[in-house]
Structure 1
Amino acid sequence: MKIYLMVAAVGALAACQPVVPDSAAGVGNPGRGVGFNTTTATAVPAAPGVSSQPLGGTAPATTSSANGSFDPDLLAASLDEDERAAAANSGREVVNASPSNPAPAAVSNPGISDENDFDAVAARQTIASDKARIAENRAQYEVVQPTALPSRSDAGGPNVVEYALQTRHPRGTKIHPRLGFGGQSKMARNCAVYTNDDEAQTDFLARGGPKRDRKGLDPDGDGYACGWDPTPYRRAAAN
């Protein structure tokens, strides 16, 4: 009786133990195993020339020929309809890298000059043609003879350039007498209305300068209003 009870207890304990899945189960075997994809076969990557065989599934078409080289026809046969359409729409033929591939054909670009290519230039130009081209260019030369400069009209008023070339003394040299008090303050006030010193000198000459200074633009009597400097014009004429 005790032996019978012990056998029954061992059987009950064995029935309670979890079932350990087979190591090959769950891979390519739907409905078996835990933590494995039970609907999709998993392919094992293969070396080039060796077909890839999914565990528990059907082997895909090989992309290698009998001698182990890549066969594009076999590759196309192994692609589905969408993949074939994508490859056909690429617009380019697939080129597989191989030492036996021929060298690519050189395509001439007409936009690039061939002046540095001796053979190309020599094929279309000779010493005689160069001589004829030089003679043609010389025949088109046109020599323009210089003409006299037009005379300046006095309608535009005094000319500061002409005045600068007529004078020789530097700034600050008193040439003309000046009367009045507060000459510097008056000059600063009246010179502020001009945009530049050339404009001030032109107006100064137009109002009777350099002998007369009605607006007090030249208190030191050097004949240059508002600090105008004739030196740049003199240097330009000398050069």
Structure 2
Amino acid sequence: MGVSLLALTACGPQVPDSAAGIGDDTSPFNAPPAIETGQTLSGAPLVPPVVLSNEATGANANWQNPRPTGTQIASSNSASSLNVGSNDDIAREAAAAIAASSQNSGQAPLQASPDNPAPALLGHAGISDENDFSAVASRQTIESDAQRLANQRAQYQVVAPTAVPQRPNDLAPNIVSYALSTSNPKGQKVYSRAGINLKARAERNCAQYGSPDLAQTDFLEAGGPQRDRLVLDPDGDGYACGWDPAPFRAAVRAQGI
């Protein structure tokens, strides 16, 4: 009987395992299986390989150096070629360009820093430093000022006054002589005046003269100061149109005459 049971079991169908496929290595969510020493993995990669262009695999494979040393970049439009130098050549060219730029102005470039003061400005034509005590003291002293004043005093000349030339009697009245011959101040009545609206008439008549001196000359020539035919002296002080003899008297007193 035992032999019969074994035979039936061997001939019966196989029951599939319900856990088959769970935790399979092909699942992308499972951790990769441990690799023992000497064991290799085989199979297709999950990500297909990237196809590289000829720019990375051909003559331009050295992409990390944009200016390869000792190579020539051929031009498809010209038969000539451009030689590309090394990094040392580039450094020498840059140093030469900096040196040439510093020689264009004739002066080396200034280094701007707090420790480097600004250069002195020169050639300011028209700007005076007379109010700068330091600048004046550097070129002038008390002794030089005294010497300059002495030189100016030595060149000073006093011109002696001369007598006023005599005027002939046939010319117009001399207002200077008349001013010195009078003593009453301006506005003080000395001569009588008769008439109507003398002040208004005198204002209109005086407006025709360019200066009080001209009015005084005509006033004296027409019979003044005793008579005022032109109506130029309404207040009777002997002075026409506000003419004032005081400046002439002061000039004579100043000269001690």
What is the TM-score with the length of structure 2 in the denominator? 0.44
Question: Which structure's relative contact order is higher, taking Cα pairs within 8 Å and 6+ residues apart?
Answer: 2
Larger Rg: 2
What is the TM-score with the length of structure 1 in the denominator? 0.47
